[in-house]
Amino acid sequence: MPRKKLTVKSILLCHFYLFLSLVLLQPAFASQNTEINLSKLGGTVLLEADYQRTQVNMELAKLPENRWRPFQQADILQGITNQAHWLRFTATNPTDQAIHWVIRGETSFLDYLEIYYRNDSGTFQHETYSDWHDFQQRQINYRTLSAGLSTPAHTKTEVILKAYFIGNDTMNLRFSLYTSDDFNRLSQRENLLYGLFYGAMLLLVLLSLMAAAILRQIKALFYAAFLISSILCWLMVNGLGFQYLWPHSPEWHNQGFHIAYLIFGFTALQFGRSFLFLSQTLPKVNRLFIAIQLLYSLILIAYLFGYLENVILYISHSALATTALLMPVVGFIAWRKRISYAVWFMAAWLIYSTGLILTLMSTTIANLNWGNSPLDWLQMATLLESIFLMVAVSSWIIELNSEHKKAITLAHQDPLTELGNRRLLQSRYTDYYNNLNDRSLPLFMLVIDLDSFKEINDNYGHDGGDVVLKELGCLIKQNCGAEDVAIRFGGEEFAILVALNSIEEAWELAERIRLQFANNPTYYCNQQIKHTLSCGIAEVLSKDVQLNVNEIMRCADSALYKAKQAGRNQTHLCESPVGKS
């Protein structure tokens, strides 16, 4: 068989394939440097390590050596697991002084962290840290499981970590290495940031409780309950609740997560139902929310009685996801139903839902290389959501106040002329009467009545009569100041309550209105309607005269009666007020 001749082309191809093979196979044969220089620590994420996972009951002495492999970024988030996860690395101190350093755990819900360590191939020492022990038993007063070690000068410390849960839970193997000084600074910085977060949340709770007490609105109370449940969830997640509030209750710290999540979902749905008036605007959605709340309640009761322990993790996370997906959708539908403040509700839940969904994905799906960023975003999103919801509540309060003022205005307003009515006159006169000592000007009552108004209605119809009444109402408003009270009693009778220097000024005001009305006929359907009015004036409140509400009407009416009797289209004074002192 003839031999093939080697050519330059074939040699180059062989080199290329060899190079490509080395590149592709390099990760499989690569050895990882697992030594960490302690003099260069600064929150270093532990990646230079070997890794393997075993059953939880595996001991260090029986750990298979051939199972170790390089620890990679994708190994940090393991998703939901019930296995033990081992990390092995060496810390080197090249300096002339001992270095005190800290291994910091990322999450607050790790059940157990065992640490085996030895200096320069000595005997392994063993420490166990657990969330199932009282907080005071921790070596370091810190919210997550962390351990402090010391490496002498020019010495290596071999460290093996074992992290695991009692049952199924979401494993995060992000451990960071700090010098003791850097760790203390980190702790102080975290305390400041968490203080700002919880301070802002508690301020929102206080404001909502004040709104509930002052306005007597249960919606604000439901919002406060929702905020408190959010705070409870974050105290659990951050580990600050265990550190400061319930340090002797490790069972609550470990098992209360799911209870807090269910309470959060329940209060969120209750606040949404109340705030968006779902029973009226979206009754089917309201019934759905009630059904979900009932389901959450049954799950919570079953869990408290010892059931569902194997699946509560999935159920509580599903409850959070369900709430997060429903709320922005319902907010959008309510906004389309012309509930104006629902746009803030929708925006708030969109922010929160995005962070929550990303966090749930990162904690339940292995190999998502997101680190703790989604959880940090979710906590910031919680604060933003709470602020947006407070804006929504404030918008609702403003709208409620506007509607209240509108209702009061309508209750005190004549719908035809948009002047006040008898109720407004009585209310304002009572205010004047109660504050008599604070007022320097006397108060006068002008009663105005259209002359021969029945004839206008007979000749031009009631629509024509209404136009005349509106014209007179506009004329009265034009001649009155902001503090004057102008009303229509009903029919063709009007009144003005005005504070002036003297009876002469009251006379001038009445005459000005009378003459303007008489000299400016009303045009209706191409017809000219001529009209006049009569007016009676009475001094009703001053240092010398104090009349009650009924007396001011009788006094002014008596003057008006005289004007009518004298031939109409004129003004008369009440000469002897009945309440004159």
**Residue 492 annotated to the active site:** yes
DSSP state, residue 420:
B
Q: Tell me the one-letter amino acid at 116.
A: Y
CA 62 from centroid of its chain's CA atoms: 53
DSSP character string of 128-171: EEETTS-GGGSSS-SSS-EEEEEE-TTEEEEEEEEEE-SSSEEE
> Please, what is the Cα angle at 319 between 133 and 226, to 5 degrees?
80
Q: Given CA atoms 209, 215, 217, 223 in this order, what sign does their dihedral have?
A: negative
CA atoms within 13 A on the CB side of 232: 19
Cα gap 115→126, rounded to integer Å? 6
- Judged by DSSP in three states, 266 sits in helix
* CB neighbour class for 495 (10 Å; exposed up to 12, middle 13-18, buried from 19): buried
Catalytic residue, candidates 492, 493, 504, 505: 492
Kindly report the backbone phi and psi dihedral angles of residue 541, in degrees, each rounded to the nearest multiple of 5, phi listed first. Answer: -155, 120
Residue 280, class by beta-carbon neighbours within 10 Å (0-12 exposed, 13-18 middle, 19+ buried)?
exposed
Q: With b meaning 16 or more CB within 10 Å and e meaning fewer, what string describes 160-179?
A: bbbbbbeebbbbbbbbbbbb
Percent of the chain that is helix, strand, coil (3-state, to 5): 55, 20, 25
What is the spatial distance between Cα 159 and Cα 92, in angstroms, rounded to a whole number?
A: 11
Whether 46 and 90 have beta carbons less than 8 Å apart is answered as no
Contact 261, 231 (CB under 8 A): no
Give the residue from 507, 474, 509, 498 showing the smallest Cα distance to 488. Answer: 474
CA torsion 197-199-204-210 (nearest 10°) is: 170
Rounded (10°) angle between helices 373-411 and 250-275 = 40
The half-sphere exposure of 197 on its side-chain side, counting CA atoms within 13 A, is: 23
Q: Which residues pair with 44 in a beta bridge?
A: 177
Phi, psi of 55 (to 5 degrees): -70, 155
Count of CB atoms within 10 A of residue 314's CB? Answer: 14
Residues in the chain: 581
| Helix axis angle, 373-411 to 218-238, nearest 10° | 170
Just list the catalytic residues: 492
